[in-house]
Amino acid sequence: MERIIKDKFKSGKLTNRERFRRVMHYQNVDRIPNFEFGYWNETLPTWHSQGLPPEIDNEEKAYKFFGIDSYKYIPIKNGLIPQFEEKVLKETQEYMIIIDAEGIKCQIFKNGSSTIPHYLEYPIKNKDDWERFKERLNPDDPARYPENWDEIVLELQKRDYPVCIHCGSLLGKLRDWMGFENIALAFYDMPDLVDEMIEYMTDFSIKLMEKALKDVEVDFALGWEDIAFNNGPIISPQMFKEFLMPRYKRIADFLHKHGVDIIGTDCDGNIMPIVELWLEAGFNLMFPVEVHAGTDPVVLKKLYGDSIRLMGGVDKTKLQDSKEDILKELKRLEKVVEQGGFIPHIDHRCPPDVPYENYLYYLENKKAMLGY
């Protein structure tokens, strides 16, 4: 595949950090970063029987083997401290019923390592539950930052790769802790509680980032939501605007004060109805741009131009098809990549039903497109 970074766009050899920052700011680069989203647990073992060397048995080794660039997160613990004690409540030959580390009661089937659990009961049902639960979300807990933080800061000051800070989850984690249907109904039945929880998660996220942003020059921020599915977001754009936009804007304003202007959140599914609202709130990076769900990078760039940044956007289902289909998908994105502000990679973790040979073909042609 023809390289799209022509000689006239070249700016000399850059570090991976410089490449990332320049692409995200629509500036010239020597090549575009070669990021990927990782692999399902079964993918690398499946590929071992198709030619992948057996010693390549984790993501870090795979990235090095395939020549994939990477970025690193600042190592702050943003989950529950302490976690719930995991318990097995019932076990049969077919399944276990457990309480997991987040306090969720679920049924785990034994017929597959990645079988999705069947969720039975959630830890937050009402305000009393929330009051007890949020004790595990203390942003000032010293355990949230590593003991060797000063050493990490010194190391990050010498880096040549991009560093990302996690900027929170305002609704995605609450959905996990309440359940999909429960939190959707709570917007109608308990709006004050939902508002209180989202406000707390906003304060928690900002407080948690303060020390890191004072000590480290961060390249971008990325949260986690996963609040959209194939038919669109879990809540209407109007509710998004009422409950979430002011909080996203607070987070974006806080990050801007600390020099971070590339801000996004990880949200699978069809995010098209809320992209403009995220942009208005200051979240300008969309990830992972899940094509099969209806989030198309070509459409997004046409609608929002250079006000938007994208990471992802390569339809993973095409890698299961023919090499011609893979090449067609990459060529479809060629002009969008050339415009800038877009680092293309598979729009989720690579599943095991992608043939190893197809993955190699995809990487070879994508790298050519990126300017290798």
**Whether 196 and 56 share a structural domain:** yes
**Whether 180 and 96 share a structural domain:** no
Q: Is residue 97 part of a domain?
A: yes
| 171 CB neighbour count, 10 Å cutoff | 25
Q: Is residue 298 part of a domain?
A: yes
- Please tell me the least confidently modeled range out of 1-10, 20-29, 36-45, 322-331: 1-10
Q: Is residue 288 scored above 90 in pLDDT?
A: yes
**Whether 253 and 148 share a structural domain:** yes
Average pLDDT across the chain, whole number: 95
Q: Which residues pair with 106 in a beta bridge?
A: 98, 119
CA–CA distance, 107 with 116 (Å, rounded to integer): 9
**Whether 29 and 69 share a structural domain:** yes
CB-based contacts of 205: which residues, under 8 Å, 6+ apart?
78, 167, 168, 169, 170, 223, 251
Q: Is residue 112 scored above 80 in pLDDT?
A: no
Residue linked to tokens 């607070």? 250
User: Which ranges constitute the DSSP H helices of 25-148?
Assistant: 43-48, 59-66, 127-133
CA–CA distance, 291 with 314 (Å, rounded to integer): 7
| pLDDT in the model for residue 363 | 98
By three-state DSSP, how is residue 280 classified? helix
Q: Which residues pair with 343 in a beta bridge?
A: 311
| pLDDT in the model for residue 10 | 52
| pLDDT in the model for residue 262 | 99
Query: With contact defined as beta carbons under 8 Å apart, do 11 and 325 qualify?
Result: no
Q: Is residue 2 part of a domain?
A: no
Looking from the CA of 217 toward its CB, the CA atoms found within 13 Å total 10
Q: Is residue 73 scored above 70 in pLDDT?
A: yes
Q: C-alpha distances in angstroms, 263 versus 231, 281, 338?
A: 25, 10, 21
151-186 tens-digit pLDDT: 999 999 999 999 999 999 999 999 999 999 999 999
**Whether 209 and 285 share a structural domain:** yes
User: What one-character-per-residue DSSP string does 99-126 give?
Assistant: E-TTS-EEEEESS-TTPPPEEEE-S-SS
Q: Is residue 3 scored above 70 in pLDDT?
A: no
Q: What's the total number of domains in the chain?
A: 2
Query: With contact defined as beta carbons under 8 Å apart, do 276 and 236 qualify?
Result: no
Six-digit token pair at 272?
């098209």
**Whether 21 and 164 share a structural domain:** yes
CA–CA distance, 134 with 322 (Å, rounded to integer): 49
b (16+ CB within 10 A) / e for 33-60: bbbbbebbeebbebbeeeebeeebeebe
**Whether 224 and 195 share a structural domain:** yes
187-237 tens-digit pLDDT: 999 999 999 999 999 999 999 999 999 999 999 999 999 999 989 999 999
CA–CA distance, 91 with 318 (Å, rounded to integer): 40
Q: Is residue 2 scored above 60 in pLDDT?
A: no
**Whether 108 and 185 share a structural domain:** no
Q: What is the DSSP letter of 83?
A: P
CA–CA distance, 141 with 370 (Å, rounded to integer): 43
Percent of the chain with pLDDT over 90: 93
CA–CA distance, 60 with 62 (Å, rounded to integer): 5
Six-digit token pair at 179?
């359940």
Range of the domain at 250: 7-83+123-370
Six-digit token pair at 114?
């990645």
116 pLDDT band, cuts 50/70/90, is: confident
